[in-house]
Chain A
C-alpha cells in the first residue's frame, strides 16, 4: 500500500513538530508549508490525503486581498469551492465560536491548539484519512 500523505500548513511549524513526528512515526509522508498560497498549490499538485491547516498565516502571492488573520480560512474556502478536495482539519488557537461553527457547517473539523491533546488530534487526523475512528 502506498504511504498516505498529510500536508501541514502552519506559519509556525516548530509549534507542531510533535504532531509531525507522530505522523512520520506512524508511517505517513509529511509535507509542510508556511503560507496559504503554498498550501493551495501543494493540494492542487495532488497526492495529499489530508490537510491540517492553521488560520493565521501569510496569505502568500495567490491570495493578495486576503487578511493574514484569516488566510487559512480563505484557503479552506478555496479548497471547498473547487469541489474535490482531501479532508481538511483546521488546527488553530482561535476560540471564536462563530468561525468554528462556520467551519463545521463546511465539514471542516476544528481542533484548538492548547486544548486538544496530541493523542486526540492524531486520532482525529488519522480517522479523517482512514474513515475509522479508534476512541482510546
Chain B
C-alpha cells in the first residue's frame, strides 16, 4: 500500500468515527424528542381526563339520595364549570396548530366584533368561581374601574379573546394561594385598553418575565405546584393578542402578579 492510500484510509476512518458520533447524537436527540412527546401526550390526557371524570362522578352523585340538595346544587354548578373548562381546554389544543402558522385576523373563520369587556369578564369569572372555591379564592371584577372608563368595548374575535382571559384565569386559580382574591381590573392608555388579572401566589422571577410566554415553557415553581400542564396557556394567549394588534405582558411584584391584556382602542 502506498503512502497516499494509507492517508486516504486514515481520513476515511476519521470520517467514520465522526459519523458514528453524529449518529449517536441524533439518536439521543430523537429519544429525547420521543420522551418529550410522550410526556406531552400524557399531560393532555391528564388534563382532559380529570374534568371529564369529575363530571361523571358528579352526575353519579346526583342520584345518591343520601347527598343533600345543597350539596347537589354545588355539584351541578361544578359540572357546568368543568364543562366550560373542558371546552376551553380542547380549544387550546386545536388553537395551537392555528397559531403556529403566521395567521392574521382575517385568517380566522370568525369575524371580529364589539365585545363589552366588563360583561365578558364577569361571565368568565363566574365560570371560575366553583374552581376557585376549593382554595377559598374569590374572583372579583373591579366594576368601578370599568364604570370610570365608560364600560369600554374592544373589537376582537370574541372566541379567541375569551380564550385569552380564560387561560389567564385558569392560571390564576391554579397558582394563586388559598384564601386570596383574584382581581380583574382595567388598564387604559391613549391607544389601548384591556383587562388586568391580578393574583397572589407563586412569585414570577424577573428573568422569567418573557420566558413564561414561550411555547411549552412552564416555570419551575409552576411545575412543582401542578405537575400536569402543557405550558401552552400563556403562549396561546400572547399569540392571540399579537394577531389582534395588542399585547400580553406581566408585571410581577413579589408574590403578586398582574397580567395585562391590551387591545387597540377602536378608531373613530
Interface size bucket, B side? Answer: 20 to 34
- Asked if B57 and A57 sit within 8 Å, CB to CB, the answer is no
Stretch at the interface among A41-49, A78-86, A99-107, A113-121: A113-121
Indicate whether A129 reaches chain B with its CB closer than 8 angstroms.
Answer: no
**A17-B75, A25-B66, A56-B227 in contact; A12/B61 too (CB < 8 A)?**
no
Residue interface bits A63-100, CB-to-B below 8 A is 1, else 0: 00001110100000000000000000000010000000
What is the count of residue pairs linking A and B with beta-carbon distances less than 8 angstroms?
87
Query: Which residue of A has the minimal Cβ distance to B46?
Result: A93
- Asked if A14 and B45 sit within 8 Å, CB to CB, the answer is no
Q: Which residues does chain B contribute within 8 Å of A25, judged by CB atoms?
A: 64, 66-68, 71
- Asked if A17 and B134 sit within 8 Å, CB to CB, the answer is yes
Which of A31-60 touch B at CB < 8 Å? 34, 56-59
- Asked if B61 and A18 sit within 8 Å, CB to CB, the answer is yes
Q: Which residues does chain A contribute within 8 Å of B45, judged by CB atoms?
A: 93
Q: Which residues does chain B contribute within 8 Å of A18, judged by CB atoms?
A: 54, 57-58, 60-61, 75
Q: Which residues does chain B contribute within 8 Å of A57, judged by CB atoms?
A: 227
**A93-B50, A118-B57 in contact; A11/B225 too (CB < 8 A)?**
yes
For the residues of B in contact with A, the DSSP-based class is helix
Expressed in whole angstroms, the Cα–Cα distance for A18 and B52 within the complex equals 13
For the residues of A in contact with B, the DSSP-based class is helix
The interface on chain A, measured as residues whose beta carbon lies within 8 A of the other chain's beta carbons, has a size of 30
Q: Which residues does chain B contribute within 8 Å of A58, judged by CB atoms?
A: 224-226
Q: Which residues does chain A contribute within 8 Å of B68, judged by CB atoms?
A: 25
Indicate whether B167 reaches chain A with its CB closer than 8 angstroms.
Answer: no
Indicate whether B51 reaches chain A with its CB closer than 8 angstroms.
Answer: yes
Indicate whether A19 reaches chain B with its CB closer than 8 angstroms.
Answer: yes
Q: Which residues does chain B contribute within 8 Å of A11, judged by CB atoms?
A: 225-227
Contact of A14 among B49, B61, B78, B228 (CB under 8 A): B78
- Asked if B130 and A118 sit within 8 Å, CB to CB, the answer is no
7 residue pairs A–B, Cβ–Cβ below 8 Å: A11-B225, A17-B78, A18-B54, A18-B60, A25-B67, A114-B50, A117-B57
